């Protein structure tokens, strides 16, 4: 399309030499455009809304990574940034065509790049994991629905134990899943939309267990959970129990975020899916049906 969507300010158009732009996402936290620049290149612009200012640490994470495993940050202006256009093929869609094993191989490859050593000092703005989990701790102590209170209390207890014994603390993407890994450029598969966290690397695979969207039957399949544990543990360098416990902790946190957004565990949305996953994962951990 030619021209500009109303949400793309003139000062950004001028600063980044944008000739035309296409609005590709309008979420609660940001506007995202694919921009066609006067020099013939393409890029992505992302403008944070007031509800998305927590993502500023994610932009700092991209700046620190310098394209290793993630899209490159090309420029920034206030709460807007210009990003490398990594393509439009989501790992979620690739998985539908090529299967779970192929998608998991890509996740492992991207994860290894994201966790590769950098000589640069990490930014101070990265969010510590304990602060990241604040919504879970607050809701678990105040929830009055008995079933939900029990589940969130269990998840919060595990989270507290994990966060009190973190090792190998490092910068984390913090939101790695099938819709935040994209391809289509010559650089192959890259991670987008990091949270920009700081903590135990075992957390960086926790969100994969509850994804991709639309794969509910597989998400709650114990055999799939076990396969993911087998894949991730050696790459992270920890035991499978720790990976599973972080997945349980994150499921509780994700439930809280969804409930804050108006979701209900009695519905068919993310809260229900994560609640169901949490119960299955808890059974695996409690019953010790396989050796960790």
Spatial contact of 94 and 87, defined as CB atoms under 8 Å apart = no
Give the separation between CA 178 and CA 92, rounded to whole angstroms.
Answer: 5
| Angle, helices 100-114/222-236, rounded to nearest 10 degrees | 30
Rounded CA-CA distance 259/266 in Å is: 11
Pairing verdict, β 181-183 and 89-90: antiparallel
Are the beta carbons of 3 and 20 closer than 8 angstroms? yes
Residue carrying the six token digits 């090529």:
98
Count of beta carbons in the 10 Å neighbourhood of residue 89:
15
DSSP character string of 104-122? HHHHHHHHHHHTS--SSPP
63 is catalytic: no
Q: Which residue has the tokens 């960790």?
A: 292
Q: How many CA atoms lie within 13 A of 55 on its CB side?
A: 20
Residue tagged active-site, from 175, 193, 200, 263: 175
Q: Where are the beta strands (DSSP E) in 49-113?
A: 73-77, 80-84, 89-90
Count of beta carbons in the 10 Å neighbourhood of residue 142: 9
HSE of 286 in the Cβ direction (CA atoms, 13 Å)?
A: 10
Dihedral sign for Cα atoms in the order 196, 197, 202, 207: negative
Catalytic residues: 175
């Amino acid at each position: 399309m030619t021209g500009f969507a109303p949400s793309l300010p003139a000062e950004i158009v001028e600063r980044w030499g944008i000739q035309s732009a296409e609005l590709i996402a309008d979420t609660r936290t940001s506007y995202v455009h694919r921009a066609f620049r006067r020099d013939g290149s393409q890029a992505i612009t992302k403008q944070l809304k007031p509800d998305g200012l927590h993502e500023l640490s994610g932009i700092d994470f991209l700046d620190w990574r310098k394209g290793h495993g993630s899209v490159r940050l090309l420029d920034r202006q206030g709460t807007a940034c210009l990003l490398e256009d990594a393509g439009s093929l989501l790992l979620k869609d690739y998985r539908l065509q090529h299967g779970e094993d192929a998608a998991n191989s890509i996740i492992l490859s991207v994860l290894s790049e994201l966790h590769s050593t950098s000589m640069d000092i990490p930014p101070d703005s990265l969010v510590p994991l304990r602060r990241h989990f604040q919504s879970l701790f607050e809701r678990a102590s105040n929830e009055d629905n008995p079933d939900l209170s029990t589940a969130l209390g269990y998840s919060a207890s595990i989270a507290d134990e994990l966060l009190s014994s973190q090792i190998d603390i490092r910068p984390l993407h913090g939101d790695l899943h099938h819709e935040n890994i994209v391809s289509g450029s010559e650089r192959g598969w890259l991670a987008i939309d990091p949270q920009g966290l700081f903590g135990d690397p075992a957390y960086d695979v926790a969100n994969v267990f509850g994804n991709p969207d639309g794969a509910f039957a597989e998400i709650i399949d114990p055999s799939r959970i076990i396969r993911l544990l087998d894949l991730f543990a050696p790459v992270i360098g920890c035991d499978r129990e720790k990976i599973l416990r972080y997945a349980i902790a994150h499921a509780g946190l994700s439930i809280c975020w969804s409930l804050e957004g108006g979701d209900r565990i009695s519905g068919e949305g993310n809260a229900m899916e994560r609640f169901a996953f949490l119960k299955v994962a808890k059974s695996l951990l409690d019953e010790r049906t396989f050796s960790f």
